[in-house]
């Protein structure tokens, strides 16, 4: 056969093979079988459920701090770290594990392996939470039994027939202190409960006492024998035990300062840990740091946390000093929550000293726990220096440090009023909004200031602006729920970038963590609000509608307002709500500062948070329901970088 014929035959055979391969390939791609079973690549094949993996899997007991002591894990209840659960196995042997910083106590299970906690089936395993001294289980399930069954194809080969349920803990509540200069029978002490019942308090030979309590406002009345005078001390018991500074009825206290400031550490958003700077809150700080409660994986940082994410602690265990910042001034230390960071330091003593100039005027000791905080009620007045020292230099943890400062003496400031800002209402706009604008207060309030900033307040053009702001490209207003701070900020940022050039500041002050990237504070301050009232800026107030529930305020809804001015103890606002009236009107709304209580919500995991320092607005602000109270719980501030460019 000629070479040319041989080569031609080979070329023909190869071509035929390629054609057959391509036909089979495209037939498989199209889903055909070409007479054979379709082959699925191994990464996408169904599992062979007749086999079990040789893996272990955890089963957990979740432990939480039952803040309201109702036996239910509900909104606001945080996890508890380093609480021990003991597992008793069918053979009588035991295993113990502690809950992690997220509250989970993990036990490993694996079918037939001796290296894991749970290895057998159809037998009882018993879970016992080891109750810490001074705590009680609120969920009535301190002991639980679980049976495991074999499940072919499961990760560990066995599964729980009924897994353990969550366990809630709450501390025993009490009021504890010591009477100075006590001699047997030299004093008597009466405790009056929130219900008005009075009980004689038992005082030890050393003058110390510890009286059981429950949440509410208590009154202690101390009398000296054969002396008609008395000393009364009010004590607010919430969710932790209360330790009072040593006291007696002979000392005359200076008058308290009247400007309350609270160090809650939540302003910190640069990093997970930072040093408290001098001058913060008008005080001097040394060796006190703010830290995220999860950063060190220490249980005390988690268990002392009251709200938010940040707590304070003493750097490397060193003593903390807090002083007057302005020369010649003093301050009051009202109190704080205290605990210790690590289980190895359980029972550490915190020594608290206060000076007035060079005179030591108070000295107290508080025993600390990693399991939770105690509230130390100091009421040290007119002091110039406060020192906090852990006896063995372990890290203590603190929250909600409360101080009183002298009233700020400043020259009378003229009122700030921005004239010409529109006051459009959210109803009957005729621009095809869902439910006729029922939940569009955010877009309307924003449009009032934006139209003014752009120099065109024609109502018809402003209606088009509202429609634009409410849309998906900007604030994405929900027809049923309105717009929250996060979407308000996102829409404002997009609008400024597209139509107004650039901004110098776009900030949020409030408790919502969804707006974290723009958040500068947990609550709006008057000084911060005032900084946004000028010709290149705007401020919008996010009001919460709250209903009182004992010592708490329960959030039921919210509303956006346009801030147009600020006078002494009055906010000047434009309210787009239909309940505010049909005609444009400048509302002058007074306010007071909340001193105690909690902001609560059934729908937001960002709450509860202490209500202290938030502004409660007076009844000059019109309310959609008579049962509501208006609390300024957030605000947005925009300051443009330069002159607004025309929109034409």
CB 263 within 8 A of CB 401: yes
**Pairing verdict, β 552-567 and 598-600:** parallel
Q: How many CB atoms lie within 10 A of CB 628?
A: 18
Residue 643, pLDDT above cutoff 70: no
Give the Cα separation of 238 and 214 in Å (integer). Answer: 8
Mean pLDDT along residues 484-510:
92
DSSP string of 570-597? EEEEE--SGGG-SS---EEEEEEE--S-
Strands across the sheet with 359-367, in order?
283-286, 320-324, 385-390, 349-356, 359-367
Q: Which residue has the higher pLDDT, 272 or 24?
A: 272
Which of these ranges, 298-307, 371-380, 381-390, 513-522, has the smallest mean pLDDT?
513-522
Q: Sign of torsion, CA 482 487 489 495?
A: negative
Q: Which residue has the higher pLDDT, 472 or 398?
A: 398
Domain range summary for the chain, segments of one domain joined by +: 57-171, 173-252, 274-409, 416-640
Structure token digits, residue 168: 């809630």
Q: Sign of torsion, CA 243 246 248 251?
A: negative
pLDDT value, residue 230:
79
Strand residues in 69-215 grouped as ranges (E): 84-88, 94-98, 104-109, 124-129, 135-137, 143-150, 158-160, 167-171, 174-178, 187-192, 198-200, 208-212
Residue 441, pLDDT above cutoff 70: yes
Provide the mean pLDDT of the chain: 87
Give the Cα separation of 629 and 615 in Å (integer). Answer: 11
Give the Cα separation of 610 and 599 in Å (integer). Answer: 6
Give me the CATH topology for the region 416-640. Cathepsin B; Chain A (3.90.70)
Distance from chain centroid for Cα 283: 24
Mean pLDDT along residues 155-169:
94
pLDDT value, residue 427:
75
Residue 446, pLDDT above cutoff 90: yes
Residue 608, pLDDT above cutoff 70: yes
Bridge partners of residue 96, in order along the sequence: 86
Tell me if domain 57-171 and domain 173-252 are identical in fold.
yes
What's the alpha-carbon Rg for the chain, to the nearest Å? 33
The four Cα atoms 577, 580, 586, 589 give a dihedral, to 10 degrees, of -100
pLDDT value, residue 581:
80
pLDDT value, residue 647:
46
pLDDT value, residue 11:
45
Which of these ranges, 432-441, 452-461, 533-542, has the smallest mean pLDDT?
432-441
Mean pLDDT along residues 14-37:
43
Give the Cα separation of 480 and 471 in Å (integer). Answer: 14
Residue 442, pLDDT above cutoff 90: yes
pLDDT value, residue 294:
95
Give the Cα separation of 44 and 490 in Å (integer). Answer: 40
Mean pLDDT along residues 69-95:
95
Q: Which of 227, 226, 184 is nearest to 208 (CA)?
A: 184
Q: How many CB atoms lie within 10 A of CB 584?
A: 13
pLDDT value, residue 322:
96
Give the Cα separation of 318 and 385 in Å (integer). Answer: 16
Give the Cα separation of 353 and 244 in Å (integer). Answer: 14
Structure token digits, residue 285: 């700080």
Mean pLDDT along residues 458-484:
90
CB 348 within 8 A of CB 392: yes
Question: CATH assignment of 57-171, given 2.60.40.150, 1.10.3210.10, 2.60.40.10, 2.70.70.10?
Answer: 2.60.40.10
Q: Which of 400, 411, 499, 398 is nearest to 447 (CA)?
A: 499
Q: Sign of torsion, CA 273 275 281 283?
A: positive
Which of these ranges, 160-174, 247-261, 593-607, 609-623, has the smallest mean pLDDT?
247-261
Confidence of residue 37 (pLDDT cuts 50, 70, 90): low
Mean pLDDT along residues 63-76:
93
Confidence of residue 6 (pLDDT cuts 50, 70, 90): very low
Cis peptide, bond prior to residue 609, ω within 30 of zero: no
Q: Please give the C-alpha separations between residue 199 and each of 106, 138, 196, 248, 383, in angstroms, as whole numbers.
A: 45, 26, 10, 19, 34
Q: Which residue has the higher pLDDT, 54 or 390?
A: 390
Give the Cα separation of 434 and 198 in Å (integer). Answer: 58
Q: Please give the C-alpha separations between residue 505 and each of 269, 421, 496, in angstroms, as whole numbers.
A: 16, 20, 11
pLDDT value, residue 493:
94
**Pairing verdict, β 587-593 and 615-617:** antiparallel
Give the Cα separation of 387 and 394 in Å (integer). Answer: 15
What pLDDT digit, counting tens, does each position of 337-356 carry?
Answer: 999 999 999 999 999 999 99
Tell which CATH architecture fits domain 173-252: Sandwich (2.60)
Strand residues in 214-319 grouped as ranges (E): 216-224, 230-237, 242-244, 259-263, 273-275, 283-286, 288-292, 310-314
Write out the H or E segment, with its range, that includes residue 544.
strand 537-549
pLDDT value, residue 531:
86
pLDDT value, residue 182:
86
Give me the CATH topology for the region 274-409. Jelly Rolls (2.60.120)
Confidence of residue 578 (pLDDT cuts 50, 70, 90): confident
Confidence of residue 248 (pLDDT cuts 50, 70, 90): low
pTM for the model stands at: 0.66
pLDDT value, residue 26:
41
Give the Cα separation of 19 and 27 in Å (integer). Answer: 12
Mean pLDDT along residues 114-142:
96
């Amino acid at each position: 056969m000629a070479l040319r014929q041989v080569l031609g035959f080979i070329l023909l055979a190869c071509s035929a093979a390629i054609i057959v391969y391509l036909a089979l390939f495209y037939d498989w791609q199209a889903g055909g079988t070409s007479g054979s079973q379709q082959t699925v690549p191994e990464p996408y094949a169904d599992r062979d459920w007749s086999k079990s993996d040789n893996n272990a899997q955890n089963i957990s007991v979740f432990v939480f701090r039952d803040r309201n002591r109702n036996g239910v894990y509900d909104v606001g209840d945080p996890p508890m770290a380093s609480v021990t659960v003991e597992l008793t196995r069918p053979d009588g042997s035991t295993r113990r594990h502690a809950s992690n910083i997220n509250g989970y106590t993990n036990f490993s299970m694996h079918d037939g392996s001796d290296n894991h906690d749970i290895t057998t089936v159809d037998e009882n395993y018993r879970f016992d939470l080891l109750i810490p001294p001074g705590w009680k289980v609120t969920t009535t399930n301190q002991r639980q039994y679980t049976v495991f069954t074999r499940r072919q194809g499961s990760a560990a080969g066995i599964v729980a027939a009924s897994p353990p349920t969550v366990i809630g803990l709450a501390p025993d509540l009490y009021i504890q202190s010591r009477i100075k200069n006590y001699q047997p029978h030299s004093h008597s002490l009466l405790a009056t409960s929130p219900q008005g019942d009075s009980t004689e308090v038992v005082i030890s030979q050393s003058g110390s006492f510890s009286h059981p309590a429950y949440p509410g406002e208590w009154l202690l009345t101390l009398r000296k024998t054969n002396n008609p005078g008395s000393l009364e001390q009010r004590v607010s018991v919430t969710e932790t035990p209360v330790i009072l500074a040593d006291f007696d009825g002979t000392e005359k206290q200076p008058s308290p300062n009247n400007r309350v400031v609270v160090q809650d550490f939540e302003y910190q958003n640069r990093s997970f840990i930072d040093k408290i700077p001098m001058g913060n809150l008008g005080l001097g700080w040394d060796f006190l740091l703010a830290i995220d409660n999860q950063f060190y994986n220490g249980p005390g940082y988690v268990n002392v946390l009251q709200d938010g994410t940040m707590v304070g602690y003493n750097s490397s265990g060193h003593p903390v000093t807090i002083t007057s910042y302005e020369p010649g001034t003093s301050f009051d230390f009202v109190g704080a929550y205290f605990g210790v960071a690590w289980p190895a330091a359980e029972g550490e003593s915190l020594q608290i000293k206060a000076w007035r100039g060079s005179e030591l005027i108070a000295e107290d000791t508080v025993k600390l726990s990693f399991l939770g905080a105690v509230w130390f009620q100091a009421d040290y007045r007119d002091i110039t220096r406060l020192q906090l020292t852990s006896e063995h230099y372990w890290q203590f943890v603190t929250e909600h440090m409360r101080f009183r400062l002298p009233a700020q003496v400043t020259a009378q400031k003229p009122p700030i009023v921005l004239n010409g800002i529109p006051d459009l209402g959210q109803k009957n706009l005729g621009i095809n909004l869902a439910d006729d604008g029922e939940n569009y207060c955010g877009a309307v309030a924003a449009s009032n200031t934006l139209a003014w900033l752009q120099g065109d307040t024609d109502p018809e053009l402003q209606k088009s602006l509202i429609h634009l702001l409410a849309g998906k490209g900007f604030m994405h207003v929900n027809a049923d729920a309105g717009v929250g701070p996060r979407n308000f900020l996102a829409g404002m940022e997009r609008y400024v970038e597209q139509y107004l050039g650039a901004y110098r500041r776009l900030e949020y002050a409030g408790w919502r963590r969804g707006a974290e990237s723009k958040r500068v504070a947990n609550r709006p301050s008057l000084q911060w609000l005032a900084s946004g009232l000028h010709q290149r800026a705007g401020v919008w107030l996010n009001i919460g509608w709250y209903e009182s529930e004992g010592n708490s305020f329960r959030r039921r809804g919210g509303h956006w307002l346009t801030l147009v001015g600020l006078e002494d103890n009055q906010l000047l606002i434009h309210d787009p709500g239909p309940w505010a009236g049909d005609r444009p009107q400048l509302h002058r709304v007074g306010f007071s500062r909340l001193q105690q209580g909690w902001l609560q919500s059934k729908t937001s995991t960002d709450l509860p948070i202490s209500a202290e320092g938030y502004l409660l607005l007076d009844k000059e602000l019109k309310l959609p329901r008579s049962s509501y109270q208006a609390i300024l719980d957030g605000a947005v501030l925009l300051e443009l970088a330069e002159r607004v460019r025309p929109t034409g």
